[in-house]
Amino acid sequence: MFPTHRPRRLRTHPQLRRMVRENALTTSDLIYPLFAVPGESVANEVKSMPGVYQLSIDKIVEEAKQVYDLGIPSIILFGIPADKDIDATGAWHDCGIVQKAATAVKEAVPDLIVMADTCLCEYTSHGHCGFLEVGDLSGRVLNDPTLELLKKVAVSQAKAGADIIAPSGMMDGFVAAIRAGLDDAGFQDIPIMSYAAKYASAYYGPFRDAAESTPQFGDRRTYQMDPGNSREAIKEIELDIAEGADMLMVKPALAYMDIIHQVKQASNLPVAAYNVSGEYAMVKAAALNGWIDEERVVMETLLSFKRAGADLILTYHAKDAARWLGA
């Protein structure tokens, strides 16, 4: 008895495989993260992230032009301030590093969509994503006082020219608070991309080198999600949708493909997946050792995020991927 059904029939020729391929990655899906530091002509390579740099604003602008020329529609800005304090002043100050970077990029490349990561951890002296009582070493972040600060951060970023506000601190009610803050300040048309299901993950290690945002004590497990949970992710996204989120993000991506899939099923908003620093570092390390084919591994991984349900992918591989896609 030979099989009647032969799926291999549709795999016999590259063109045929292309015709029946169900999902595709395009440059339109990509968002490239950038790290802004004070100074001029600064380009510090991040040790654990080969090919990723902390850049001064003049360099960020050069990079933004390149990204735009590659056909990538958007960047997300992170900032490393000169000084950190208990009130995260550098996060909401009109002359903050991300505010200045956003203004400079929008001036040089007006058609590039600039997202701003809206959080406090790069700017607080203790490295937590929210407000702590002075002298509190327990790391118990105070939710509602943090919301007031996040409103200020978002409004200052919008004023500086950011097109999309992306709150990442996993505070309860942060989407509603930021929405109200933006609306009151006249920014009704600025969308919010919420880091809706963000897990307390070891995969953020290299990012914390890049952003100099490792908590000085404690960890982020009282605000970021427990890796064992998936129904809780749906609860988180339902709340963010109810609070007015325009886009939802799942983070990290690779170990959380099931969550990307479930979030896509559970909502009609665009879903973004954050291919985080540790995922990038692993691929880079193996590639630099000659152990894997970097292009094939990266393109397979990014395509798989699309298959899982991601509409958008934040990735440090974005420029390479755009080149491999034939930009």
Just list the catalytic residues. Answer: 198, 251
208 contact choice in ligand PBG, Zn ion, none (CB below 5 to 8 Å, kind-dependent): ligand PBG
Piece in contact with ligand PBG (CB under 6 A), picked from 59-67, 93-101, 179-187, 207-215: 207-215
Which is nearest to 215 in space by CA: 227, 200, 236? 200
Please state the φ and ψ torsions of residue 55, each to the nearest 5 degrees: -125, 140
Choosing from 204, 284, 308, 309, the residue that interacts with ligand PBG (CB under 6 A) is 204
In Å, how far are 33, 89, 204 from 138, measured between CA atoms?
A: 31, 22, 21
| Beta carbon of residue 277, minimum distance to ligand PBG (angstroms, whole number) | 3
Site membership for ligand PBG, residue 301 (CB under 6 A): no
Retrieve residue 208's tokens: 């914390």
Give start and end residues of each alpha helix (H) in the chain. 14-20, 57-69, 89-92, 97-108, 143-159, 174-184, 205-211, 231-242, 257-266, 277-288, 294-308, 318-324
262 contact choice in Zn ion, ligand PBG, none (CB below 5 to 8 Å, kind-dependent): none
Piece in contact with ligand PBG (CB under 6 A), picked from 55-63, 131-139, 171-179, 204-212: 204-212
| Strands 193-198 vs 312-315: parallel, antiparallel or unpaired | unpaired
Ramachandran category for residue 46: left, alpha or beta (phi over 0 → left; psi -120 to 50 → alpha): beta
Site membership for Zn ion, residue 211 (CB under 5 A): no
Which is nearest to 119 in space by CA: 98, 95, 94, 140? 98
Query: By the 8 A CB rule, do 141 and 119 touch?
Result: no
| Beta carbon of residue 18, minimum distance to Zn ion (angstroms, whole number) | 41
The nearer residue to ligand PBG, 169 or 309, going by C-beta atoms, is 169
User: By rule CB under 6 A, what string of x and - marks binding of each residue 112-141 to ligand PBG?
Assistant: -----x-x-x-------x------------
Size of the site for ligand PBG (CB under 6 A): 13
What would you report as the CA-atom Rg of the chain, rounded to the nearest whole angstrom? 20
Q: Print burial letters for 112-151: b (CB count within 10 Å at least 16), e (below 16).
A: bbbbbbbbbbbbbebbbbbbbeeeeeebebebeebbebbb
Site membership for ligand PBG, residue 262 (CB under 6 A): no
Q: Which of residues 217-256 bind ligand PBG (CB under 6 A)?
A: 220
223 contact choice in ligand PBG, Zn ion, none (CB below 5 to 8 Å, kind-dependent): none
Choosing from 52, 101, 112, 121, the residue that interacts with Zn ion (CB under 5 A) is 121
Distance between CA atoms of 50 and 52, rounded to whole angstroms?
6
Ramachandran category for residue 53: left, alpha or beta (phi over 0 → left; psi -120 to 50 → alpha): beta
The nearer residue to Zn ion, 129 or 193, going by C-beta atoms, is 129
Site membership for Zn ion, residue 119 (CB under 5 A): yes
| Beta carbon of residue 207, minimum distance to ligand PBG (angstroms, whole number) | 3
Choosing from 146, 267, 277, 315, the residue that interacts with ligand PBG (CB under 6 A) is 277
Query: By the 8 A CB rule, do 25 and 325 touch?
Result: yes
Site membership for ligand PBG, residue 151 (CB under 6 A): no
The nearer residue to Zn ion, 167 or 191, going by C-beta atoms, is 167
Choosing from 208, 295, 297, 320, the residue that interacts with ligand PBG (CB under 6 A) is 208
| Beta carbon of residue 276, minimum distance to ligand PBG (angstroms, whole number) | 4
Catalog residues that contact Zn ion under the rule CB under 5 A.
119, 121, 129, 169
